[in-house]
Amino acid sequence: MHARSTLATLMVLAMVAIAPSAVIRASGPTVTVEDLGPAGYVTNGRGVNTSGLAAGFGNDGTLDFGFTHGATLALVPVPDPGDALQALAVNDAGVVVGSYIPASGFRQPYRYDSVSNVLTAVPYLSGASSATATAVNASGVVAGFTAAGKAHGFRQSGADPAEDIGDLGGGSSAATGINATNVVVGYAKDAALHQQAVRFDSTLHALTSLGGTNAQANGINDSGVIVGWSQDTGNSHLLATRWSSDTTPQSLGTLGGVMSQAMAVNTTGDVVGWSLTAANEIHAFLWQNGTLTDLNDMLPTGSGWVLGTAYALNNTGVIVGDGTFNGEARAFRLTITPEDNGDTTAPVIAWVHASPDTLWSPNNQLVPVTLTVSASDDSGVAPSCSLVGLASTDPNPADMVQTGPLSAQLRASKSNGGGRCYTLTVQCSDAAGNLATATATVKVPKSATGK
């Protein structure tokens, strides 16, 4: 009864849009901060999509409730009987994922279509009885983890059974992020019960740490760049980490303290997370073009905000996370609009070459393919380029695996009755955010003559 009466009260509050607090700097970008969720409650921001629709959850002092917040606020409906719903991620179609507690008392993962207002349960892994969905991609494929009966990460699509990502010999794992090509990241325990950052395509891969014992991956973009945290050599620090491939970790540093963690990465490679400062305070950060910035430094004195953790960001400068507003724990949405420098000209891609561009013989094995890009920009600064799409005349996700910003593995297999052609799409971005795309093809010919 308490859950239902609280929900009714929150529904009334959800009809009121929260007024943003706009900050315009004397120079540089325009920054707007918005307070998310129903007023008067603790709220937490967890996800954001391309349109800026945020997802999160709050607590009324007893139970959690989930919400979305675009131009207006809306609550995620809780199935009856059920309560303690959390919304943890949202995709561009407005599909929200998370978990709630049904009558069984065990957490149930869900998908909620905020457009059609339909909530459906995500099936448990075989042998599991409690789970949470943590991430969802543009196609609605969900990643998450189980917590009872079996403690493993999973990937689940449509009406298919949940797919177990396995572990590294230690009996447990979790999935925390997923990209457009259904590659999942997270963590898994090894035989020594050390926690390793992992990537799962159809095989579980451990990521190289910064030299320490434990690590975790939290997010992956469509180019295959992974972010999370790793302990350094000697395990003296836990540091925000970026992996451009499984074996190339990069520390993103801290804001002056001894600890940081990266939570999400967007298509252009911008990273958000949190860090301890020299004063031992937790502050949200943005890592962009090699520079780590305290998001609080973008706000004027007296704004009322302390931005603690940035959990998600989109490709247009919108960041969602947790902080305090006038001393109250609140979710925030920070929108950064770059200063207009007049540059609206996209980079020019002269060519994209794939090596090899022909796979022979058709032995059904995955073959490493590397892309080389020639691109320029009228600013004189070389644009940043990455692989953003894999397609095939005979599409099968297991036959196309992105392994780095400009590399992939493609299966040397012919299609029924003929050859096969893979198309690899590269996107280049300049400093002003202008984009250009081009493609390269890799063929599995019908015969050894190439025909």
210-233 CB burial, b ≥16 within 10 A, e <16:
bebbbbbbbbbbbbbbbbbbbbbe
Inter-residue contact 164 to 152 (CB < 8 Å): yes
Give the model confidence (pLDDT) of 25-53 as tens digits. 434 678 899 999 999 999 999 999 999 99
Structure tokens at 147: 């917590």
pLDDT of residue 370: 96
Instruction: Give all domains of the chain, ordered by start, each with its CATH number.
Output: 2-337 (2.130.10.10), 348-444 (2.60.40)
| Closest to 312 (Cα-Cα) out of 96, 13, 76, 20 | 96
Structure tokens at 315: 């490709």
pLDDT of residue 245: 94
Measured distance CA(291)–CA(324) in Å, rounded: 25
Give the model confidence (pLDDT) of 312-333 as tens digits. 999 988 999 999 999 999 999 9
Measured distance CA(294)–CA(273) in Å, rounded: 10
DSSP string, 229-265: EEEEGGG--EEEEEESSTT-EEEEE-BEEEEEEEEEE
Measured distance CA(87)–CA(112) in Å, rounded: 9
What value does the mean pLDDT take over residues 357-384? Answer: 93
Q: What percent of the chain has pLDDT over 90?
A: 76
Structure tokens at 79: 């199935």
Give the model confidence (pLDDT) of 123-160 as tens digits. 999 999 999 999 999 999 999 999 988 899 999 999 99
The set of residues, in sequence order, having a beta carbon less than 8 Å from that of 160 and lying 6+ positions away, is: none
Cα distances (angstroms) measured from residue 54 to each of 167, 272, 331: 32, 15, 10
| Tokens 């943003």, located at residue | 20
Q: What is the pTM of this model?
A: 0.75
Find the Cα–Cα–Cα–Cα dihedral 305, 53, 262, 217, rounded to 10°: 150
pLDDT of residue 437: 92
What value does the mean pLDDT take over residues 203-227? Answer: 97
Q: 449: exposed, middle or buried (C-beta count within 10 Å: 0-12, 13-18, 19+)?
A: exposed
Provide the pLDDT confidence category of residue 231 given band limits of 50, 70 and 90.
very high
Structure tokens at 82: 């059920």
Measured distance CA(372)–CA(41) in Å, rounded: 52
Q: Show the CA angle centred on residue 330, arms to residues 327 and 332, nearest 5°.
A: 120
pLDDT of residue 339: 65
Provide the pLDDT confidence category of residue 379 given band limits of 50, 70 and 90.
confident
Name the pairing type of β-strands 130-136 and 118-121.
unpaired
pLDDT of residue 266: 96
pLDDT of residue 14: 45
What value does the mean pLDDT take over residues 19-24? Answer: 42
